[in-house]
Amino acid sequence: MASNAQRRDVTRERILKAAARLLSEEGPSAVTTRRVAHEAGLQPPALYRLFQDKDDLLDATAEHVFAGHLANKLTTAPSDDPVEDLRAGWNLQIGFGLANPYVFGLLLDPARARDTPGQAKGLLILAERVHRIAAAGRLRVSEERAINLIHSAGIGTVHTLLALPPERSDPHLADAAFEAIARAVLTDEPAAPAQDPAAVIASFRSLLPDLPNLTEAEAALLDEWLQR
DSSP 28-74: GGG--HHHHHHHHT--HHHHHTT-SSHHHHHHHHHHHHHHHHHHHHH
Residue 213, domain member (yes or no)? yes
208 or 174: which carries more pLDDT confidence? 174
Q: To the nearest whole percent, how much of the chain has pLDDT over 90?
A: 65
Backbone φ and ψ for 139, nearest 5 degrees, come out as -105, 130
Q: b/e per residue, 62-75, with b = 16+ CB within 10 A? A: bbbbbeebbeebee
Lowest mean pLDDT among 5-19, 45-59, 104-118: 104-118
**203: DSSP letter:** H
What pLDDT was estimated at residue 193? Answer: 47
Does a structural domain hold residue 121? yes
**pLDDT band for position 115 (cuts 50, 70, 90):** confident
Q: Does a structural domain hold residue 176? A: yes
SS3 breakdown of the chain: % helix, strand, coil, rounded to 5? 75, 0, 25
Q: Would you place residue 59 in the very low, low, confident or very high pLDDT band (cuts 50, 70, 90)?
A: very high
Give the confidence band of 194 by pLDDT, cuts at 50, 70, 90: very low
Neighbours of 181 (CB within 10 A): 19
Asked whether residue 2 is domain-assigned, the answer is no
* Residue 168 domain boundaries: 79-227
Mean pLDDT value across residues 110-120: 79
CA distance 52 to 34: 14
- Is 85 strand, coil or helix? helix
Q: How many domains does the chain have?
A: 1
103 within domain boundaries: yes
| Residue 206 one-letter amino acid | S
Of 56-60, 71-75, 169-173, the one with minimum mean pLDDT is 71-75
Is 226 a residue whose pLDDT tops 90?
no
- Measured in degrees and rounded to the nearest 5, phi and psi for residue 186 equal -110, 150
Q: Angle at CA 71, nearest 5°, toward 70 and 77?
A: 95
Contacts of 37 (CB under 8 A, 6+ apart): 15, 43, 44, 46, 47
Position 25 pLDDT exceeds 70: yes
Q: Which of 21-35, 53-67, 114-128, 210-224 is least confident?
A: 210-224
Residue 61 has a pLDDT of 95
- Contacting residues for 44 by C-beta, under 8 A, at least 6 apart: 33, 34, 37
Give the model's pLDDT for residue 37: 95
Would 8 be classed as within a structural domain?
A: no
User: How much is the mean pLDDT over the chain?
Assistant: 86
Residue 11 predicted with pLDDT over 50: yes
Rounded Cα–Cα distance for residues 8 and 62 (Å): 19
**21 belongs to a structural domain:** no
Helix (H/G/I), strand (E/B), else coil: 214? coil
Q: Is the residue at 152 inside a domain?
A: yes
Band of residue 131 on the pLDDT scale cut at 50, 70, 90: very high
pLDDT digits (tens, 9 = 90+) for 141-189: 999 999 999 999 999 999 999 999 989 989 999 999 999 999 999 998 7
